[in-house]
C-alpha cells in the first residue's frame, strides 16, 4: 500500500523527512542570497557581522544596473508580445490544421527548446554579425523570440486542445463571423494558456544568459550580462542585492499567477 499516504507508517516519516531536506536544499540558495544582501561583510562572511542596506544603496547609485534592468525589461516585453502572437497563430495551425507534416513542423518549432543554447548562441551570433544585427535590440528580440517560441506554443496549444471547438461553432451558428467567434469565445476560454505563455516567454528572455553574452555590446547590456560580468570579476555583495530584487520579482510573479488561477477556478 505504497500509495496510501495514511497507511505507510515509518516509511512515510522517512520519505517526508527526505522531502523536507530536498525542499530545504531547493530553498537554501534563494533564502541565503536574500540574507547575504543585508549582511555587512564585504567578503560575504556568513552569518554576517552586522546588517546593512549599503549594497542596495550601491546598487541604486550605479546607473549601469538600472540601465541593464530596463534594457532587459524592454527586450523581454517585446519578446513576450512577439512570441505570444506568433505562438497563438502557430498553435491554431498545429491543433486545428489539416495538412501533411503537421507533427514534423510541430517538432521543428519546439526544437529551440531542446537544442543546447550555446550552439544556437554561436550560430545566431555569427549570423547577426554578417547581417549587422549584432549588439542591437532587434537582434536580441529576434534571438530571444526564437528561444521563447516553444514556451509560448506549449501552453497555448495545450489550452486549445482542451477547448471544445463545438462551442466556437455554436457562436458561428449564432451569427458571429469565424474571426469574431475566435476573438470573443475562444481566446477568453484559453486565456490561462495565453497568460502562461506570456509569463514563460518573458522569463525565457529575462533570464537568458548565453545568447546575451555573445550578443551584448558595451552599449547594450541586459541584466544577466551585467551580473555575469560582475560574477566573473568578483563576488561583490551588490550582486546579492540585485539578485534579491530578482527573487522578489519572481515571488510577485508567482503570487499573481496563483491569484489569477484561483480567480479562474471560482
Partner 1 sequence: MPAGFNSLLPALVLIVLFFVVPVLALLLRSVTEPEPGLQNYATLLGDGTYARVFFNTFLVAAVVTAVTVVVAFPVAWMLAIMPSALASIIFGVIILSMWTNLLTRTYAWMVLLQRTGVINRALLAIGIIDQPLPLINNLTGVTIGMVYIMLPFMILPLVGTLRAIDPMTLRAAALCGASPIQAFRRILLPLSLPGLAAGGLMVFVMSLGYFVTPALLGGTSNMMLAEMIAQMIQSLLNWGLGSAAAFILLVVIMALYALQLRLVGARRMTGGI
Partner 2 sequence: MIQPFLSIRKLHKAFGAFTAVHDVTLEIPRGEFLTFLGPSGSGKSTTLYAIAGFQDPSSGDVQLEGKSLLAIPSHKRSIGMVFQRYTLFPHLTVAENIAFPLRVRRRPDAEVKKKVADMLTLVRLESFAARLPGALSGGQQQRVALARALAYDPPILLMDEPLSALDKKLREEIQAEIRRIHRETGVTILYVTHDQEEALHLSDRIALFRDGRIEQTGTGEDLYLRPATDFVAGFIGNSNFLTAEHLETANGAATIRLADGSVVSGVSVNRTFDKGQKTRLMIRPEAFGMERKPASAELAVEIVDVAFYGERRRIVARTATGQEIDIRPTSAAMRSQDLTPCSRQVFFDPAAAFLFSA
Q: Measured from the CB atom, is 9 or 47 closer to partner 2?
A: 9
φ and ψ at residue 39, rounded to 5 degrees? -80, 145
Q: Measured from the CB atom, is 1 or 114 closer to partner 2?
A: 1
Q: Does 57 bind partner 2 (CB under 8 A)?
A: no
Name, in order, each residue with C-beta under 8 angstroms of 208's C-beta and a sequence gap of 6 or more: 117, 144, 147, 222, 224
Region from 50-58, 60-68, 73-81, 118-126 binding partner 1, contact rule CB under 8 A: 118-126
Task: Enter the C-alpha cell of residue 79.
Answer: 519578446
Task: Enter the C-alpha cell of residue 217.
Answer: 555590446
Contact 153, 92 (CB under 8 A): no
Q: Does 79 bind partner 1 (CB under 8 A)?
A: no
What is the closest distance, in whole angstroms, from the C-beta atom of residue 227 to partner 1 in the complex? 5
What is the closest distance, in whole angstroms, from the C-beta atom of residue 18 to partner 2 in the complex? 22
Q: Does 142 bind partner 1 (CB under 8 A)?
A: yes
Q: What angle do CA 156, 203, 110 make, to 5 degrees?
A: 45
Contact 55, 181 (CB under 8 A): no
Q: Does 13 bind partner 1 (CB under 8 A)?
A: no
What is the closest distance, in whole angstroms, from the C-beta atom of residue 171 to partner 1 in the complex? 14
Q: Which of partner 2, partner 1, none sits in contact with 13, Cβ below 5 to 8 A by type?
A: none
Amino acid at each position: 500500500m505504497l500509495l496510501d499516504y495514511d497507511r505507510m507508517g515509518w516509511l512515510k516519516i522517512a520519505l517526508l523527512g527526505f522531502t523536507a531536506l530536498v525542499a530545504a536544499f531547493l530553498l537554501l540558495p534563494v533564502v541565503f542570497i536574500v540574507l547575504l544582501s543585508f549582511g555587512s561583510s564585504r567578503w560575504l562572511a556568513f552569518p554576517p557581522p552586522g546588517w546593512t542596506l549599503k549594497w542596495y544603496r550601491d546598487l541604486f547609485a550605479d546607473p549601469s544596473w538600472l540601465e541593464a534592468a530596463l534594457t532587459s525589461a524592454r527586450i523581454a516585453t517585446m519578446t513576450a508580445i512577439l512570441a505570444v502572437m506568433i505562438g497563438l497563430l502557430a498553435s491554431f495551425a498545429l491543433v486545428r490544421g489539416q495538412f501533411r507534416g503537421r507533427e514534423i513542423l510541430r517538432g521543428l518549432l519546439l526544437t529551440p527548446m531542446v537544442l543546447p543554447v550555446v550552439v544556437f548562441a554561436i550560430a545566431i551570433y555569427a549570423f547577426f554579425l554578417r547581417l549587422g544585427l549584432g549588439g542591437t535590440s532587434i537582434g536580441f528580440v529576434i534571438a530571444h523570440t526564437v528561444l521563447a517560441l516553444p514556451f509560448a506554443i506549449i501552453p497555448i496549444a495545450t489550452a486549445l486542445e482542451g477547448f471544445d471547438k463545438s462551442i466556437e461553432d455554436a457562436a458561428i451558428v449564432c451569427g458571429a463571423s469565424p474571426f469574431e467567434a475566435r476573438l470573443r469565445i475562444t481566446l477568453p476560454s484559453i486565456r490561462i494558456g495565453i497568460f502562461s505563455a506570456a509569463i514563460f516567454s518573458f522569463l525565457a528572455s529575462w533570464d537568458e544568459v548565453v545568447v546575451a553574452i555573445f550578443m551584448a555590446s558595451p552599449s547594450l547590456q541586459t541584466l544577466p550580462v551585467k551580473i555575469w560580468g560582475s560574477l566573473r570579476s568578483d563576488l561583490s555583495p551588490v550582486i546579492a542585492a540585485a539578485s534579491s530584487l530578482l527573487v522578489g520579482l519572481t515571488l510577485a510573479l508567482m503570487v499573481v499567477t496563483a491569484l489569477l488561477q484561483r480567480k479562474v477556478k471560482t
